[in-house]
Amino acid sequence: MEAANGFSNGGSTQGKPIKCKAAVAWGPGEPLVMEEVEVAPPAPMEVRVKVLFTSICHTDLSFWKGENERQRKFPRILGHEAAGVIESVGEGVKDLAPGDHVVPIFTGECGTCAYCESSKTNLCGTYRVNPFKSTMVSDNGTRFSVVDRSSGAPQPVYHFLNTSTFAEYTVLDSACAVKINPQAPLEKMCLLSCGISTGVGAAWNTANVSKESTVAVFGLGAVGLAVAEGARIRGAARIIGVDINPDKFTKGKEMGVTDFIESKACGKPVHELIRDMTGGGVDCSFECTGIVDVLREAFLSTHDGWGLTVALGIHPTPRMLPLHPMELFDGRRITGCVFGDFKGKSQLPLLVDQCINGEVKINFDGFITHEMPFSEINEAFRLLEEGKSLRCVLRL
């Protein structure tokens, strides 16, 4: 039997293990290895997804390198930006069915807990992102296994950020799978799993950038450029991009950056230059580097009285927030942001529809600098590590 969109409803595989290819990380910094893994059927309130496209984010790079020793867990299937089709669903899943087009999200939404019912947060009491978590919620087990080459016995392979998309099939909690319009191009929609949603949402939902706002973006990687894109769509009057690499200004201009500061060559602290450029500071700044000293510059670059700084970078350092409490008495504020403050399951489908009908024009193509087959994933990692790609989309 086939679903309405022509994709098999999983009748031949439903309830059975599936063997498929996955890029397995065996240790920090070691090349990913294409392994045949066994993917178990979904348990209650889980879904099994055939991954069609996945892309690589700096967070994947950080975990692959093992930059935070407490987050190391191997062997592991990384990956958290993807798009695919539901192959089968576990007991109790009512909102998803085989054949549905879905985008995995690393911070889930159950829809019923106090957090999900609150308009003040996009976190979920049960399925929020947890970088230390490497198993499924229902039983603390894994759905992946690989045959140990020495003993021949099955060995568990750990999960990553609720998603693990560097595999032809993956198992997700249903709270971490967003059903989207089947007309949406999946090779572009996979970017909504992390980078674009995080950056655009930070501008729209967290900072509420409006027409004539002034904005500074520290770090012009994919998330920083997505912030700029979100600010551009909202009509920001000035978008200042800050980076150590002047080559990034070309792509920045494409995403709406109006001014560029090469931070290592400006001759004075960046925040002083931004205050001079804007008559006191920007309305909003966004830190997208994960560097504590940059976070301080971003904070000081905002206007006293009303300036807001949004922290988006992942900070592996044990160093604490670089502020004195009295500095907050000048009216500047600072906050963090996860997934652009989008409630994934309840808000992303509308955003996808708005993109399809032209109501919202996000430059997805501008973020995709490379497209490769899944087998070339190590080359894609190299390109990202060397700063030669924004997003490399892998076709499975």
CB 271 within 8 A of CB 300: yes
Q: Token pair for residue 78?
A: 């990384």
Please state whether beta strands 177-179 and 214-218 pair in parallel, antiparallel, or not at all (unpaired): unpaired
Q: Active-site residue numbers? A: 57-59, 80-81, 110, 113, 116, 124, 128, 194, 391
Could you tell me which residues are beta bridge partners of residue 218? 242, 287
Q: Token pair for residue 303?
A: 């206007």
Q: Token pair for residue 70?
A: 């407490």
* Separation of alpha carbons 292 and 193, rounded Å: 26
CB 89 within 8 A of CB 14: no
* Separation of alpha carbons 364 and 58, rounded Å: 18
